[in-house]
A and B are shown apart, each in its own frame.
Chain A
Amino acid sequence: MEFNAPAGENLFDRAKIVGKSTPRIDGPLKVSGRAPYAAERHDVAANQAYGWIVGAGIAKGRIRAMDLDEARRAPGVIAIVAATEHEPVASSDFNYAPLFGGREVSHYHQAIAVVVAETFEQARAAAGLIRTSYTNGEGTFDLKKAAPGAPLASDRPSDSAKIGDFDAAFAAAPVKVDERYTTPDEAHAMMEPFATIAAWDGPKLTVWTSNQMIEWSRQALASILKMDADNIRVDSPYIGGGFGGKLFVRSDAVMAALGAKAAKRPVKIAMQRPLMFNNATHRHATMQRLRIGAERDGRIVAIGHENWSGNITGEAGENATLQTPKLYSGANRLIANHIAQLDLPEGNAMRAPGELPGHLALEVAMDELAEKLGMDPVELRIVNDTQGMVPGEPDTKLSDRNLTRCLREGADMFGWSKREARPGRSRKGRWLTGMGVAAGYRAAPTMKSGARVRMTDRGQLVVETDMTDIGTGTYTILAQTAAETMGLPLDAVRVELGDSSFPVSAGSGGQWGAASSTAGVYAACVALRRMIGEKLGFDADAATFDGGRATLGVESWSIRDAGALTAEDSMTFGEFKKDYDVGTYAGHFAEVKVDAYTGETYITRMLAVCDAGRILNPLSARSQVIGGMVMAAGAALTEDLHVDKRFGFFANHDLAGYEVPVHADIPHQECVFLDTLDPVSTPLKAKGVGELGICGPGAAVANAIYNATGIRVRDYPLTLDKYLDRLPAIA
């Protein structure tokens, strides 16, 4: 089915199941410990051996020798696949640095061997006996040093754009901000490690793994292992978090496959936590410059956002300018995104790639501008809302944008009017208190997505798609969509996900998953309705499906009478969408208290007001948004991969050194969804929210800290060492 025009009035406008808060259908399995994650699938292959990955001890250079003898003699060892004895694996479209690279080391903790043993303890112990010597190479590890000479990432408009005469307009603007901000490298730090069980059956390979994008991974494994993709099955029904880190096949899958081949047995690998941070991908650090010039009434006349980041590829990186062309008006504009080549581990997408650090800078610059103007920061944003157009794109229409409502309604709910505008003036006992606001924008893309629906002769419905549930609530929204479309109760629907033998879906990434995969299931269900109609002799497209029956005029049929049927289809998204900017919008608010004596910061309240079209399941959508707010709080306050610039690696590579927010850091969070519909997005008029929730709250926290203390820190995270000596005098 092709979605080739904006959706009109349809069955979802009368929905009984879609759009209603629904506890997850996979919930009882998860809370009782019965949902099987990748490394836990004892049942899928007999005789599983254990693999332990050895990571390179240098960032760049060459392996001189690996002494494997002692390890090979160690108790329980079955096989060792080592870089000095095995060809490098091939590359793929989905990774740059080889996941097992032979003697050439391209980043720290790159996999250089896998030890396979009878038990986990034996594999770990034997791995410790491998002695590797290296010839160190020269590497570039310091973004600050590499940035000045870094070229533009590309000449695409998203990396380089000039509208009007930015330089002249900025120079002439009566009020302006010109500041630089930095954000550090960050880790996905999902709770489930990269994990895979791999088993060979002749030429056929099955990987039970933890992965967001099943088809990408099947194709990547085919390239990497030089195999026919048809001989590979990827299965990933439960995923313990990904956040972009599991968009791609990583070395757990590759080394498990190589280890299983060598051991002639299924091999299970759960990557050890301290290896994950340097072995796998991360969010790139950025350096940003914001220049915003405004009239005295607050209207922006010039807005310039320049960004620098680095990557091993010398490409892509973290484009922190992405939201800037969309959020605010202004006739004269500059976008420049530079990329340096670095020899740190490979960077790639982490939740709202680009926009997370982008909002941390842009939305603080807006706060700084508001202060210079003597204007309320909520009003400044509303004055500069793009007024129904995309700046510089006269031919692009907005599908549905309610940013001003998000900000206004959020300000009301949050009690914004009680905010003391003068920074550092609100004090309660030992606490300096403050409030901050930020706007949020994140695009709402859709991707082709397929599904198969099987109706059993007992009227049960099974949905099968290689779509994944990474915690996003996919199982439930797909069941809701199928139940709604077929007119069945929710508990008549079972959903099977994450298996590459199912139809290819959009997968989970870029906040496209929910909107795309529900549309795909809808397409398959429409095909099934038509089969039922043909079988029973009615026009399914004209009929209403409800309560297990199809009704047309005065006639009615029990759909079970059609017998067992299977339909498959996918939703593709037509050209017409190119005429529109389809986005999601938020107003984010935060309140903090800062200890006047010690400088410790506590977030005391957070609110997100979100505009993201129809919310398919408000219960799990709220979880996605508050989860984003938590991760944004981490980005603002604690998360920081420290680069050892001498040896080229992330030094704090475990969950003790890399500090993500914990319970004590996070207060009650409010999340409100506007009752909007976006007919341009999908037939369900829905958009994703998984990344919207992280776009803005970090800046709201930073602005709240400024409001509390009067100290502006522009280098994230805002740890107290960066402002303790500047706190106001206590007495």
Chain B
Amino acid sequence: MAEDGFMKVSRRGVLAGGVASAAVGQASILRAQDSSTGGAAKQAKVPVRLTVNGTPQELELDSRTTLLDTLREHLKLTGSKKGCDHGQCGACTVMVNGTRINSCLSLAVQHQGDEITTIEGLGSPEDLHPMQAAFVEHDGYQCGYCTPGQICSAVAVLEEIRNGIPSHVTEDLTGRMRATEMEMRERMSGNICRCGAYSNIAEAMAQVAKG
């Protein structure tokens, strides 16, 4: 995955990306029709193997199935949310081989052999990941629908900062990167929270970043 590409996506950048992704969606629908034989003919399925939260999975999928729908509809891991299906909201954020992506923008067939980590893989109600616990403590949510995506992004953002990957607001590209408030807010900006929990999410992240 082009991890830098995802990280650098700004709010305005998403606009262009969103339009492009919509166009791709259309094209793939049309292609699917061209190749269909009409009637209720059975569509060819593609075998997909991936590992989700440590468990190997073998699936037979319609090639149009996104990674997000694979998780939600086929594996019934509904923690990853569908807010837009267009790469515009971040609710579907998961980790692929350690890098966060919008799983709605990615087809399952692109992920042969990949390691996927979803919110369910980070922790359970009885055994929360520190970031999950910090969200509860700081009330970093309201309705909870954007929350799994926020938490997956938050965990990945701190990792990106630890790894020295720069962002749009990084002031010193050669020095040691720090998890400043602006650095975190910039990197989290692909995850929309319409309930407006941003200020509390920032506090939850700062607490985890401090360790």
Contacts and interface: CB of A to CB of B under 8 A. Distances in A.
Contacts of A654: 18, 22, 84, 86, 88
A662 B85 contact: no
B146 interface: yes
A21 to B, nearest CB: 9
Overall SS of chain A's interface = loop
Q: Is the interface of B mostly helix, strand, loop or mixed?
A: loop
A168 interface: no
Contact of B193 (A191, A473, A656): A191
A32 B62 CA distance: 28
Nearest to B206: A668
A38 B165 CA distance: 38
Interface core residue of B76, B88, B188, B190 (most chain A CB under 10 Å): B88
Nearest to B142: A471
Contacts of B147: 30-31
A67 interface: no
B142 A23 contact: no
A191 B91 contact: yes
Contacts of B97: none
A662 B78 contact: no
Nearest to A630: B196
A34 B78 CA distance: 8
B32 interface: yes
A28 to B, nearest CB: 4
A655 B29 contact: no
Interface string A108-122: 000000000001111
A663 B118 contact: no
B142 A624 contact: yes
Contact of B136 (A28, A75, A191, A661): A28
Q: Which of A23, A30, A619, A627 has the most CB of B within 10 A?
A: A30
Contact of B81 (A31, A42, A192, A471): A192
Contact of B118 (A33, A74, A121, A241): A33
Interface in B168-206: 181-182, 184-186, 188-203
Nearest to A124: B29
A75 B125 contact: no
A623 B38 contact: no
B186 to A, nearest CB: 5
Interface in B93-147: 118-120, 122-126, 128, 132-133, 135-137, 139, 141-147
A501 interface: no
B29 A666 contact: no
Given A31-B147, A32-B119, A273 B88 contact: yes
A239 B79 contact: no
Nearest to A190: B194
A189 B139 CA distance: 21
Contact of A661 (B14, B17, B191, B196): B196
B192 A662 contact: yes
B85 A191 contact: no
B43 interface: yes
B171 to A, nearest CB: 14
A270 interface: yes
B136 A74 contact: no
Contacts of A119: 62, 65, 73
B199 A656 contact: no
A119 B84 CA distance: 18
B210 interface: no
Given A73-B38, A663-B191, A31 B78 contact: no
A227 interface: no
A33 B136 CA distance: 13
Interface in A54-86: 70, 73-77
A23 B136 contact: yes
A273 B144 contact: no
A238 B124 CA distance: 18
A730 interface: no
Given A73-B39, A76-B43, A120 B84 contact: no
Nearest to A77: B40
B139 A24 contact: yes
A23 B199 contact: no
B157 to A, nearest CB: 10
Given A30-B147, A74-B33, A74-B36, A630 B198 contact: yes
A76 B40 contact: yes
Given A663-B191, A664-B186, A191 B33 contact: no
B80 to A, nearest CB: 7
A31 B136 CA distance: 7
B7 interface: no
B197 A623 contact: yes
A622 B197 CA distance: 10
Contacts of B2: none
Given A73-B39, A664-B185, A33 B79 contact: yes
A655 B83 contact: yes
Interface string A441-475: 00000000000000000000000000000111100
B89 interface: yes
Interface in B1-59: 10-11, 14-15, 17-19, 22, 26, 29-30, 32-33, 36, 38-43
A191 B145 contact: yes
Nearest to A239: B143
Contact of B144 (A471, A630, A661, A664): A471
B151 interface: yes
A191 B80 CA distance: 13
A193 interface: yes
Interface string A170-200: 0000000000000000001111110000000
B79 A32 contact: yes
B109 to A, nearest CB: 12
Interface in A237-260: 238-243
A711 interface: no
A288 to B, nearest CB: 25
Contacts of A656: 14-15, 17-19, 86, 88
B57 to A, nearest CB: 16
Interface in A620-634: 620, 622-624, 626-631
B137 to A, nearest CB: 6
> Which of B14, B81, B199 has the most A CB atoms < 10 Å from its CB?
B199
A129 B38 CA distance: 11
Interface in A645-672: 654-657, 659-669
Contact of A121 (B64, B86, B182): B64
B119 A33 contact: yes
B72 A40 contact: yes
Contact of A32 (B10, B91, B123, B146): B123
Contacts of A74: 33, 36, 38
Nearest to B182: A664
14 contacts: A28-B125, A28-B128, A31-B141, A73-B38, A122-B43, A129-B33, A191-B194, A240-B143, A274-B86, A623-B200, A663-B184, A663-B186, A664-B10, A664-B182
The 10 A-B residue pairs with the shortest CB-CB distance, nearest first, are A33-B79, A630-B196, A240-B145, A471-B142, A471-B143, A656-B18, A30-B144, A627-B196, A40-B78, A33-B119
Given A273-B88, A622-B139, 6 more contacts: A34-B120, A34-B125, A40-B78, A240-B144, A241-B142, A241-B145
Interface of A: 23-24, 26-37, 39-40, 42, 70, 73-77, 119-122, 124-125, 128-129, 188-193, 238-243, 270, 272-274, 470-473, 619-620, 622-624, 626-631, 654-657, 659-669
